[in-house]
Amino acid sequence: MKNLLFSLLLFAVIACQPKDPATIMSGAKWVDLTYDFDSNTVYWPTNIKFHHDTVFCGINDKGYFYASFKYSAEEHGGTHFDAPLHFGQGGESIEKVGIERLHGPGVVVDVTKQSAGNRDYLVGVADFENWEKVNGKIPEGAIILLRTGFGKYWTDHLRYTGTVKSGTDGVKELHFPGLDPAAAKWLSAERKINAVGLDTPSIDNGPSTDFMSHRILCAAGLTVYENVANLDQLPAKGAFIIALPMKIKGGSGAPLRIVGLL
């Protein structure tokens, strides 16, 4: 397998340290980029939200403690993963996305200033070119993470999404930053990346009705991460990202456990 995960992890932590894996990993810092799933988790206004119910929790009739719960939700909500199938007819479903594409060097593009003055800001080609002027060319296999600053509003649905309404009425009121379709096309055509993620509910901004960035990225076989947490804890470059979705056979998306390794 190209770029074996373990080798990449060791290199990403620190290349000049002794080669003993235990020694290297003991000095690593992990950043959890995933929000908890609960009744307050953000879902699209028309989607089925997360429900977590008790099957049994307590001392059973045999005298020992036992706990089991059940949950239900739509694929797309909370910190989650979009497979190419989501907006690409004939695209790969979750289980068909190879493990080698679920990790890579992290590229954090900070547009918090731009988004602060424009809730519907579209991250453009110029933002990536400006990143490269400072940090060098986006590396092959990169995980692009767009930091809009909206993560600080996660517990305030109105400020995070622009609405507290459900259904189609809620969809009409969505306002949050996303990726410009022109930039989605540039990334998929000009850079060899694995995925694009961000700290808002959708890679397309709130007012979008044609979801063109989704369509471009999915058609190119790229994956997308939405509602990513704690991007303020990652540097512009130097982190290694691991993004493991629930392996739902035939799924267009799935809950995602994503972490950064520093």
What would the pLDDT profile of 213-258 be if each residue is shown by its tens digit? 999 999 999 999 999 999 999 999 999 999 999 999 999 999 999 9
Q: How far is it, in rounded angstroms, from Cα 241 to Cα 234?
A: 10
pLDDT, tens digit, for every residue of 130-168?
999 999 999 999 999 999 999 999 999 999 999 999 999
Q: How far is it, in rounded angstroms, from Cα 242 to Cα 30?
A: 10
**pLDDT at 130 (0 to 100):** 98
**pLDDT at 21 (0 to 100):** 61
Q: Is 7's pLDDT higher than 50?
A: no
Q: How far is it, in rounded angstroms, from Cα 168 to Cα 242?
A: 34
Sign of the Cα torsion 31, 37, 39, 40 reads positive
103-110 and 80-82 beta bridge pairing: unpaired
**pLDDT at 85 (0 to 100):** 98
Percent of the chain with pLDDT over 90: 89
**pLDDT at 16 (0 to 100):** 44
Phi first, then psi: give them for residue 161, nearest 5 degrees. -110, -20
Q: With bands split at pLDDT 50, 70 and 90, how would you rate the model's confidence at 14? A: very low
- State mean pLDDT over 76-98: 98
- Of the two residues 10 and 166, the one the predictor is more confident about is 166
**pLDDT at 27 (0 to 100):** 77
Placement of tokens 């930091």 in the chain = 147
Q: Is 45's pLDDT higher than 90?
A: yes
DSSP 8-state class, residue 28: -
Strands (E) in the chain, as ranges, are: 30-32, 51-59, 65-72, 80-82, 103-110, 122-123, 142-147, 178-179, 193-198, 223-226, 237-245, 253-261
Q: Is 201 helix (H, G, I), strand (E, B) or coil?
A: coil
Percent of the chain with pLDDT over 70: 90
Q: Tell me the fold of 5-48+74-261.
A: Glucose Oxidase; domain 1 (3.50.30)
**pLDDT at 164 (0 to 100):** 96
Beta-carbon contacts of residue 130 (< 8 Å; ≥ 6 apart): none
**pLDDT at 28 (0 to 100):** 87
DSSP symbols for 136-181:
-SPPTTEEEEEE-SGGGGTT-HHHHHS----HHHHHTT----EE-H
Q: With bands split at pLDDT 50, 70 and 90, how would you rate the model's confidence at 24? A: low
Tokens of 252: 């267009």
- State mean pLDDT over 117-129: 97
